[in-house]
Structure formats: C-alpha cells, structure tokens
Structure 1
Amino acid sequence: MNIFIEVVLPVLLVFFIGFLVQKWKKIDIKPVSTVAIYVMMPCLVLRTFYTAEIDIQYVYMVVFSALLLFAMIVINKMYVMIRRYPPKVEDGLILSTAFMNSGNYGAPIILFAYGTAGFDFAVSFMVLQSIIMNFFGVYYAARGGAGIALAIRAVFKMPATYAVIVALLMKATPVGIPENLFMTVDIIAEATIPTVMIILGMQLALIKWGNFDWEKVSFGVIARLFASPAIAYAITLMLPLDPLLAKVLIVSAAMPSAATIVMYAVQFDSEPKLVSSITLITTLISVVTLTVLLMILG
C-alpha cells in the first residue's frame, strides 16, 4: 500500500488534474503538446544526455528495446494468425501493444520509485522509444512503401533526436555548454514532466468509452501489461545490465499503451477505436499492475 501512496498515487493525481481540466474547459491540446514536444522535451533530453555518463549500458538498452519490440510483434502476429483477423486488425493491435507510454507515464513513475538516477535512465529509454515509435509506429499505421518513407521523415522531425546529437557534441567539446545557457535549459527541463503528465490526462479525457471489442481489448491488456514486462524480465537476465537499469526497463515495459499512438491510428485509419480503447483500459488497469510490479521489484 505504501508503494501505491508514495509512487503511483502522486502521478495519478496529476493525470486526474489534466483529465478534469479537459472535461471542464475542453482545451485544444495541440498547442500545448506542440510546446511540450518542440521546446520542453528537447531541453529535458539535452540536459539528461549532457550530464549523464554514457557507457556500455546504453548499448544494452538499445539491444533490449529491439528484442522487446520483436517479441511483441511476433506475439501479435501469432494471435492474429490464430484468430484469422485481417491485416488492419494486426496493425491496430501492434500499435496498441508494442509501444508503451514510457514518457509522460513511465518517467514520472520511475522518478518517484527510483530517484534521479533511475530517472536519467528512464529519459534515455524514453528518447529511444520515441524514435522506435515514430518509425515503426508510423510504419504499422501506414503500411507499405509510403509507410517507410513517412516513418523515416517522422524520426527526423523529432526535436529530441537533435537534442541528443547536440548534447553528445557539446559533451565531447572541452568548452561545453555555457553555464547561463545551461541554466535556461535546466529551468525548462524541470517543467517538462509535470506538463506532459497533465497532457496525458487531457488526452485520456478525449477517449470515448463504450462499445469495445472486449476480446481484442483483453488480448491487448494481457500483451501490454503482463506479457511485455515478463519478456522484459527474461531479456534483462540475458544482458549484463546495471541492476537499477534492469528495474527501470522492466517497469517501463509494464507501462500502458502509448497515448501518442492513438493519433497515428486516427491519422491513418488503422483501427483507431480499438487502439484508443486498449490505451484507455491498459491505463486504468496499470494502476494495479504497476503497484504490484513495483512491490515485487522493490
């Protein structure tokens, strides 16, 4: 119960504030999320990569992400083949189960659970997942040659991608980032996590409840909240990971479906109702599953 009160509940309350504000004022989320994506998130990423000690653990993080994504895609393909669903359903299920909300849900949970050291790992993993989601997410939302072209463009449109490059370049130079400039980055970075948490609450308020395909939703819940962290745990046993990083990766893999992926499903008409319903239900159930997982991991 302490884990829920000290780690999960504070995060949920911020989401709930965003949810209530959206229901009350019906705010246009796009301008707010644009500021978060193009100004705030790059500052957080720049600060994290500039101050972090980059070592072999980050290579293991990339390997972990690739293996987890591959495993989740295989599970979805097997389920679709057994149930004989059309390719569009496969795309929708992959979108809602292979990509987790490691940013505006996972990062704050890990910050409360494991402190700033774990948070630095979480932000690095969030950037990696954003790149994967922008590439493979767009690809599965818009299959075919156009999907690949859109996916490549999506990755290079990500400000966080360039923030990583700038941080590593400045880290390699003897001069580095001037202190006053870094202070500006630091101030904006501090506001990023609460802002994206409120945005998630606002996004959840827009998802319509009702007429769910419960068979597919149930599969999505099992795949995202149970199969994904189980596979993540197995992968961490195979890699020589730092114990803290291993916990961060397992907890991140147990996050609900990424809210951002709903936009791709809507934009490319890739089972948007199914994707949004799995996103909503996994977010609600994750309150329990994450609390239990954090108790198990310690």
Structure 2
Amino acid sequence: MGLFFSVILPIVAVFGAGYVLQRVRMLDVKSIAPLSIYIFLPALVFTSLYEADFNAGYYIIIVFAFALMFAMILINKVLAWAFKWKHSVESASILTTAFMNGGNYGVPVILFSVGEKALPYAIFYMVLQTLIMNFFGVYYASRGTGGTWMALRKVMKMPATYATIAAFVMQQVPVVIPESVYGMLTLLGDAAIPLMMVLLGMQLASIQSLKLNWEVILSATSVRMIISPLLAVLFVWLLDVDPIISSVLLIVSAMPSAATTTMYAIEFDSEPDLVSSVTLVTTLFSIVSVTVLLQFIS
C-alpha cells in the first residue's frame, strides 16, 4: 500500500484535478492541448534526450515497442475472427490495446516510482510511441482510406519528432547551447509532465457518451492491462534487459489505453463511443493493476 500512497494516489489526484476542472468549467481541451504538444512537450523531449547517454538500451526499447504493437494487433485479429467483429469494432479494439498512455500517465509513474535515471528512457519511449500511434493509429482508425498518406503527414507535423532529431544532432556537433536558452528550455520542460497529467483528467471528463459492449470492453481491457504486461515480462526475461529499462518497459506495457485514440476514433468514425468506454475502463482499472505491478517490480 505504500507504493499506492506514494506514487499512484498523487498522480490520480492530479488527474482528478483536471477532471473536476473540466466538469466545472467545461474548457475547450482542443485549445489547451496544443500548449503541451507545441511548447512544453518538445522542450521536455529535447532536454531529456540531449542529456541522455544513448546506448544499446534505446535499441531494445525500439524493438520492444514494435514487437508489442504487432503482438497486440495479431491478438486483436484473432479475437475479431473468434467473435466475428465487424471491421470498425476490430479497429476500435486495436486502437485501445495497441496504443497505451505512455506519456500523460506512464512518464509520471516511471519518474515517481523508478526515479530520474529512468526518465530519458521513458521520454524516448513516449516519443517513439507517439510516432507509432500517429502513423499506425491513424491508419487503423481510417482503415486504409487515405490512411497511409494522412498518417505520414500527422507524424511530420509533430514537434516532438523534430525535438528528438535536434537532440540527437546537437549531441554530435561541437556547439554549446547558451545557458540562458537551455535554462528556458528546462523550465518549459519541467512544466510538461504536470500539464500532461491535468490534460488527461480533462480528456477523460470530456468523454460525451459510452457504448457498453462488454464483450469488446472486457476483451480489450484484458489484452491491454493483463496480456500486454505479461508479454513485457517475457520480453525482458528472454533478452536479460537492464533493470532500469526493464522497469520502464513493464510500466509502459501496463498503461491504460491512450486518450488520443478517442480523437482518432471520432475523426474517422471508428466506434468512438466504444473507444471512449475502453479508455475509461482501462484507466480506472489501472489504479489497481499498476499498483500491483509496481509492488512486483520493487
């Protein structure tokens, strides 16, 4: 219970603050989210990766991210065949299981439970997951009707993509960033995590309607919250991964569905109510499941 009170409860409280604020004031989340996407998050990505010591662990993270995503897609294909789901339901299940909330939720959990030494890995995974989600998420939400080109454009519009590239490049060139500039970037980056946490609460509060298709909800929740962490345990055991990176992979694998997938489902009319339902259920379930996982890791 100590981990719940020291890690999960403070994080959930911040989510709750965003949720209550949105319910009371009904702010336009689409107007606030760009603050995080275009200003605070790129600063956090750049400063974290610029200071990181890139090693083989980052390649392991890349392999894991793609392996887990394709495993989730394959499992959903099998479930869709077994339960005879239509394409839109299959897409909704893929969106909610293949793409987890590794940013708004995963980064603060990793920071508070594992420590700052794990933060560069968590940030790198968040950026990688965002790129993957912006491509494959858009593709599966649109089911191929212009999805590939639209997905590519989505990836190239994300500032975090360029912040990652800039961090790699600046590490290699003999140019010193002025202290005043880097200090401002650090200041902006420090504000990114609490802002992302508040935004998640606001996004959950903005869910307008639910579709309680329990067959899909229970299947998706089981895949995202139980099977995904088990696959991560198998991965880190087979590859004998460094303990810090193992902790990062295990935690992100147990994160609930990404709230961003709801926006994709709405935009492409891919069962948005069902996607919202799974996102809400997995987020609530994670309060217990992530606490148990942190106890296991510790």
Matches within 5 A, 1:217-232: 217-232=217-232
Runs of 4+ in 1 over 4 A off after TM superposition: none
Which deviates more from structure 2 when the two are superposed, residues 110-119 or residues 201-210? 201-210
Is the 1:19–1:205 Cα contact (8 Å) retained in structure 2? yes
Q: What's 2:281 paired with?
A: 281
Considering only aligned residues, what root-mean-square deviation do their CA atoms show, in Å? 1.0
Q: Work out the CA distance in 1 between the residues paired with 2:237 and 2:159.
A: 33
Aligned to 1:205: 205
Q: Answer yes or no: is the 8 Å Cα contact 2:210–2:276 preserved in 1.
A: no
Look up the match of 1:144.
Answer: 144
Tell me, what secondary structure is at the counterpart of 1:104? coil
What runs of 5+ residues in structure 1 fail to find an aligned partner?
none
Q: State the partner residue of 2:19.
A: 19
| Equivalent residues of 2:258, 2:279 under 8 A apart | yes
Give yes or no for the alignment of 1:36 onto 2:36: yes
Equivalent position SS for 1:119:
helix
Partner of 1:6: 6
Give, in whole Å, the separation in 1 of the partners of 2:252 and 2:10.
17
Q: How many angstroms does 1:55 deviate by?
A: 0.9
Aligned: 1:63 with 2:63? yes
- How far apart are the structure 2 equivalents of 1:236 and 1:70? 17
Could you tell me how far apart the structure 2 residues matched to 1:279 and 1:186 are? Answer: 31
How many residues align structurally? 298
TM-score under structure 1 length normalisation: 0.98
**Pair 1:262 & 2:262 matched:** yes
Residue 158 of structure 1: aligned partner? 158
Residue 190, structure 1, aligned to residue 190, structure 2: yes
Q: Which amino acid aligns with 2:71?
A: A
Report the Cα offset of residue 119 of structure 1. Answer: 1.8
Q: Please give the residue correspondences for 1:98-117 in structure 2 after superposition, counting only pairs within 5 Å.
A: 98-117=98-117
Structure 2, unmatched stretches of 5+, are none
- CA shift for structure 1 position 169: 1.1
What whole-Å deviation, never above 9, does each CA across 1:178-223 have from its counterpart, x for those lacking one? 2111001000000000001000000101124655111110111101
2:247 maps to a residue whose letter is: K
Contact 1:212/1:274, CA 8 A, preserved across alignment:
yes
How far apart, in 2, do the equivalents of 1:193 and 1:80 lie? 36
TM-score by length of 2: 0.98
Q: Deviations over 1:135-187 (max 9, x none)?
A: 10000011125101111111111100000111111111112322111001000
Q: Is the CA contact (8 Å cut-off) linking 2:88 and 2:271 kept in structure 1?
A: yes
For residue 7 of structure 2, what is the amino acid of its counterpart?
Answer: V
Identity across the alignment (%): 45
2:296 alignment partner in structure 1: 296
- Name the amino acid aligned to 1:179: E
Counterpart for residue 118 of structure 1:
118
**Which residue in 2 is equivalent to 1:234?**
234
Q: Secondary structure at the match of 2:115?
A: helix
Alpha-carbon spacing, 1:166–1:211, altered in 2? closer, same or farther (3 Å)? closer
